[in-house]
Amino acid sequence: MNKITVYAFISVFIVSLISIIGVFALSLNQKALNKSIFLLVSLAVGALFGDAIIHLIPDAFESAENPASVSLFIIIGIISFFVLEKFLRWSHSHEHDYEGAECYQEKTNAVKPIGSLIIVSDSIHNIIDGITIGVSYLINIEIGIATTVAIILHEIPQEISDFALLIHAGYSKTKALLLNFVSSFIAVVGTITVLVFGSSFESFMPLMIAFAAGGFLYIAGSDLVPEIQKTSDLKDSLQQFIAIIIGIAINYNL
């Protein structure tokens, strides 16, 4: 097993373990939890933008035979994540309509259908994370580490939210934790696929990197930035700004 494979597997395993952070979230009061998520989301914005713009996009252009195709795949990545999110939002809305039309079972016995949607959508998201980690390490170890850090910072608030949603859907805390971990561990499949077949698709690697960068840009710009824009408090805004700069600086120094 070569060095790249070892680093990639360690990274994807660490990312998968983030799913159990819900246990620690339970020990925090609501105010402390909201404050932690508030800062982590800001940090993730800087990390995702930094990794995409400082590492992934320049490397994709440098190794591509046709630079125009890299630009195209960045756009395809953004649009693909937009379409995926639209579909998931539509499905979410559809599930709520379905629940409203059906007779409810006893709350103690019922698990809302939305719980299954959360698990499926999170699994898809985690496979993409695994692919992104694998592709990044095939470029070089430094970019692999930078990408892993960016994904971890994004996953922490995401996994806390998923854990809370699964409990809200009717799962017990133990089952919610187990399901969250299983869906996160599926990221390993994405990494293995890239490491096994990566050399066979070497010419497509710049395009895969560009696609991943587009995904990062979409997540940061469309999902996370609107969240941190909801506050107009000067102190909170300053903390957000500092957290974003730290996220960018982490990538700049890797």
Residues 6 or more apart whose Cβ sits within 8 Å of residue 17: 184
User: Which residues have a Cβ under 8 Å from the Cβ of 146 and sit 6 or more positions away?
Assistant: 50, 51, 54, 55, 136, 250, 251, 254
pLDDT tens, per residue, the chain with 254 residues: 689 999 999 999 999 998 887 777 666 676 776 777 778 788 888 988 998 999 889 988 998 889 999 999 999 999 988 887 787 677 656 555 544 444 444 444 455 555 676 687 678 778 888 988 998 898 889 999 999 998 998 888 777 767 766 776 778 778 888 888 898 999 999 999 998 887 666 678 788 889 889 988 998 898 889 888 888 889 989 999 999 999 899 888 86
DSSP assignment letter at 219: I
Q: Taking the CA of residue 6 as centre, how many other CA atoms within 13 Å lie in the half-sphere pointing to its CB? A: 3
CA distance 125 to 129: 6
- What pLDDT is attached to residue 101? 45
Asked if 217 and 49 count as a contact pair (C-beta separation under 8 A), the reply is yes
Q: Residue 93 in contact with residue 154, Cβ under 8 Å? A: no
Contact at 8 Å (CB) between 156 and 21?
yes
Quickly list H helices, 64-140.
Answer: 67-101, 114-139
Contacts of 193 (CB under 8 A, 6+ apart): 130, 131, 134
Q: Determine the Cα–Cα distance for residues 225 and 48; give it in Å rounded to an integer.
A: 11
